[in-house]
Amino acid sequence: MRRLVLAAALALPAPALAQEDPHAGHHGHEAAAEAPPDPHAGHNAAPTPADAHAGHVMAAPPAAPPPVPTDHAADTVFPPQRMAAARAQLAREHGDHPWGKAMLETAEVRPAKGADGYAWEARASYGGDIHRLELRSEGEGGRDLHRAEVQALYSRAVSPYFNLQAGVRQDFEPRPRRTYAVLGIDGVAPYWFELGGSVFLSDKGEASARLEAAYDLRLTQRLILEPRAELNASAQDVRELGLGSGLTTGEIGLRLRYAIRPEFAPYVGVHHERRFGRTARLARVAGEDARETTLVVGLRAWF
């Protein structure tokens, strides 16, 4: 059917263009777009206004679009230098606005016997729609700081929903401190799952990876239940960091937040983390628990 319409549009362009059916002309346009630009085409195709029968006669094939002019009309009236500056601003004001966002995804206290624990996950980014600089930090502690890292990444939007990242990660705890190269991806998967994945290569040559997922279940306009999960894996044993090869640690949490404003939402929840396999055995040898479940009270905020 479409082929037929196309053939008709090519053979009898003027009637096809003139009729009311807005579907009719599409193919004619495509054909026109493929034709070489002929600056004189318009003379043949467009009947003069004086021709009273213009609507009835069979006109020439669809005209090609004219060449794209490179001059600026207002330069003929106003000082070209001033126009050039205004033109640059016009372009900036229509699509080029760097913007920033800083977000505490979690910032929480984990009450415990002895010293309460605390933990955070934060990220901040700045840039345009496609190219952004992103800083991330996460960590946790109790009486002491157990784990703290900062990542500095270049993030590039590569599809409507996903971004790729490349950069560095610096760990401050645990010690000995490591520096890593990072490759990552994050974005929104079907069903609105927020996903993130990173692979890390340390300055000692160790490879590891992390997967994260979160989901906002909107109970009411302000009350949101958020499951979050994280999995870490290591390609090799890193004894000095207490890591065994394979899956190392996992976290899963359920947080119920109340959005006083979208950007300010205190929450309560539960958080469970565990170590797996050789990493768990290493922890037990060191006298630590391989699993831990805590209540959490915290704040999710951004600006």
Partner 1 sequence: MQQGGIASPSADPSRAARAGEVRHVRRGVEIGRRGVLRGVAALALSGSASLLPAWARSGTPGLAAGALSGERIQLSIGHAAIDVDGRKGHGIAINGTIPGPLIRLKEGQTARIAVTNRLDEDTSIHWHGLIVPFQMDGVPGLSFPGIRPGETFVYEFPVRHAGTFWYHSHSGLQELLGHYAPIVLDPAGAEPAPYDREHVIVLSDYSFMHPHKLMLRLKQQPGYFNRRKQTVAGLLAGEDQPLAERTAWAKMRMDPTDILDVTGSTYSYLVNGHGPQANWTGLFAPGERVRLRIVNAAAMTIFNVRIPGLPMQVVQADGCDVRPVETDELQIANAETYDVIVRPTADQAYTLVAEAADRSGLARATLAPRLGMSAPVPPLRRRPLLTMKDMGMDHSAHGGGAMDHGAMAMSGDGAPQVMRGPGVQMISAMPADRTGDRGTGLEDVGHRVLVYTDLVALAPNPDGRPPSRELEIHLTGNMERFMWAFDGETFSEVTKPIPFRRDERVRVTLVNDTMMNHPIHLHGHFVELVNGHAGRHPRKHTVNVMPGGKLAFDLTADAPGDWAFHCHMLLHMHAGMFKVVAVRPLDGPAA
Q: Which of residues 272-301 bind partner 1 (CB under 8 A)?
A: none
CB of 220 to partner 1, least distance (A): 5
Q: Based on the shown chain and the rule CB under 8 A, indicate whether residue 154 belongs to the binding site for partner 1.
A: no
Residue placing its CB nearer to partner 1 in the complex, 154 or 161: 161
* DSSP output for the chain: -HHHHHHHHHHSHHHHHHSS-TTTTHHHHHHHHHSPP-TTHHHHHS--TT-TTTTTS--PSPPPPPPPP-S-GGGGTS-HHHHHHHHHHHHHHTT---EEEEEEEEEEEE--SSSPEEEEEEEEEEE-SSEEEEEEEEEEESSSEEEEEEEEEEEEE-SSSEEEEEEEEEEEESSSP-EEEEEEEEEEEGGGEEEEEEEEEETTS-EEEEEEEE--EESSSSEEEEEEEEEEEESS-BGGGTB-SEEEEEEEEEEEEE-SBTTEEEEEEEEEEEE-HHHHHHHHHTT--SEEEEEEEEEEEE-
Residue placing its CB nearer to partner 1 in the complex, 190 or 287: 190
- For partner 1, the binding residue among 74, 166, 260, 295 (CB under 8 A) is 74
Q: Based on the shown chain and the rule CB under 8 A, indicate whether residue 20 belongs to the binding site for partner 1.
A: yes
- For partner 1, the binding residue among 3, 4, 36, 73 (CB under 8 A) is 73
CB of 37 to partner 1, least distance (A): 9
Tokens representing 214 are: 């979160």
Residue numbers 211-230 binding partner 1 by CB under 8 A: 217-221
CA atoms of 179 and 299, how far apart (whole Å): 29
Only one of the segments 55-63, 228-236, 270-278, 284-292 lies at the binding site for partner 1 (rule: CB under 8 A); that segment is 55-63
Q: Based on the shown chain and the rule CB under 8 A, indicate whether residue 59 belongs to the binding site for partner 1.
A: yes
- For partner 1, the binding residue among 77, 113, 175, 285 (CB under 8 A) is 77
CA atoms of 17 and 4, how far apart (whole Å): 15
Name the burial class of residue 205, with classes exposed (0-12), middle (13-18) and buried (19+) by CB atoms within 10 angstroms of its CB.
exposed
Residue placing its CB nearer to partner 1 in the complex, 96 or 144: 96
Q: Based on the shown chain and the rule CB under 8 A, indicate whether residue 79 belongs to the binding site for partner 1.
A: yes
- For partner 1, the binding residue among 111, 112, 145, 161 (CB under 8 A) is 161
- For partner 1, the binding residue among 3, 4, 36, 69 (CB under 8 A) is 69
Q: Based on the shown chain and the rule CB under 8 A, indicate whether residue 29 belongs to the binding site for partner 1.
A: yes
Q: Based on the shown chain and the rule CB under 8 A, indicate whether residue 55 belongs to the binding site for partner 1.
A: yes
Binding-residue total with partner 1 (CB under 8 A):
74
Nearest to 253 by CA among 223, 218, 298, 294: 294
CB of 151 to partner 1, least distance (A): 20
Tokens representing 172 are: 């401050």
Q: Based on the shown chain and the rule CB under 8 A, indicate whether residue 264 belongs to the binding site for partner 1.
A: no
Q: Based on the shown chain and the rule CB under 8 A, indicate whether residue 63 belongs to the binding site for partner 1.
A: yes
- For partner 1, the binding residue among 4, 76, 113, 114 (CB under 8 A) is 76
Q: Hey, what amino acid is at 83?
A: M
- For partner 1, the binding residue among 3, 4, 36, 97 (CB under 8 A) is 97
- For partner 1, the binding residue among 112, 262, 281, 289 (CB under 8 A) is 262
Residue placing its CB nearer to partner 1 in the complex, 1 or 77: 77
CB of 125 to partner 1, least distance (A): 10
